[in-house]
Amino acid sequence: MNKILHISPFCFLIEEKGRGIICNIKSKNAYYIGKKAIKTLKKCRPISAEKAYLPSWLKIVPKDEAEKNLSFLLIKPDAVLNGYTEKIVKEIKKYAFIPIKREKRMLDRKDICFLYPAHIKRDYFKDFISFMSSAPAELIILCREGSSAEILHALAGNPYPDKNPKNSLRKRFGTDGMHNAVHSSDNEENTEREILYFFGSN
């Protein structure tokens, strides 16, 4: 039986025999359409990973018609120490992400401030730096055909694990808003920025 996963209010995955297609809702009313989509998709019977009967307001990104795009994933120290690194990598591979470069690294204050500039003045930032620099993190460049950064960010989920659908990475591997397993670039601009910072231009 096909599985339909509600990744976020704007993103769905239909899986069939280990393969899948990502569906993004493109609408100003995406949040409300998302509620309707759950009911509608459950009535749909996908006939293959490339072709499925879906509502017209869902955009399908076929594998053979899309460009390869990069995304950046950082597996945080809590997930690394808990032995979740390979489980997380295995999970994202299900969504057509291919790791093309990996590096385990200790982060310092400069790195953390670069990744989280909006949090620098927050009261918890000192504790956050202590956590993020307490053990190595796993840095990964991923390649995917079609939407990449946005899909990975949706798979990561809300920063607070308890506010996520059960299939998100943070729900499965995180514990709270600080120890939430992963960081991912949320758009193409930040993906390029973060990859260049940590891996250079090569």
State whether 60 and 72 are in the same domain: no
State whether 72 and 59 are in the same domain: no
The total of structural domains in the chain comes to 2
State whether 92 and 138 are in the same domain: yes
* Rounded alpha-carbon distances, angstroms, from residue 29 to 4, 9, 54: 21, 10, 18
For 43, the domain range is 3-64
State whether 58 and 91 are in the same domain: no
Q: pLDDT tens string for the chain (202 positions)?
A: 344 444 444 455 555 444 444 555 544 444 445 555 555 555 554 433 333 333 333 333 344 333 458 899 999 999 999 999 999 999 999 888 889 899 999 999 999 999 999 999 999 999 999 999 999 999 999 988 777 888 898 889 888 878 877 778 998 999 998 999 999 998 888 998 999 999 885 5
pTM of the model as a whole: 0.67
Q: Tell me how far apart the alpha carbons of residues 70 and 67 are, in angstroms, rounded to a whole number.
A: 10
State whether 7 and 57 are in the same domain: yes
Model pLDDT, residue 187: 86
Model pLDDT, residue 57: 33
Model pLDDT, residue 58: 35
Q: Tell me how far apart the alpha carbons of residues 41 and 55 are, in angstroms, rounded to a whole number.
A: 8
Count other Cβ atoms within 10 Å, centred on residue 7. Answer: 21
State whether 172 and 79 are in the same domain: yes
CATH (domain of 195): 3.30.70.141
Model pLDDT, residue 39: 55
Exposed, middle or buried by CB within 10 Å (0-12, 13-18, 19+), for 63?
Answer: middle
- Domain boundary among the residues 64, 93, 109 is at 64
State whether 17 and 92 are in the same domain: no
**β pairing state of 137-145 and 3-8:** unpaired
CA atoms within 13 A on the CB side of 101: 12
State whether 92 and 141 are in the same domain: yes
8 A C-beta contact, residue 13 and residue 7: yes
State whether 73 and 164 are in the same domain: yes
Which residues have C-beta within 8 Å of that of residue 101, sequence separation ≥ 6?
Answer: 140, 141, 199
Model pLDDT, residue 67: 44
Model pLDDT, residue 146: 72
Nearest alpha carbon to residue 80 among 137, 129, 152: 137
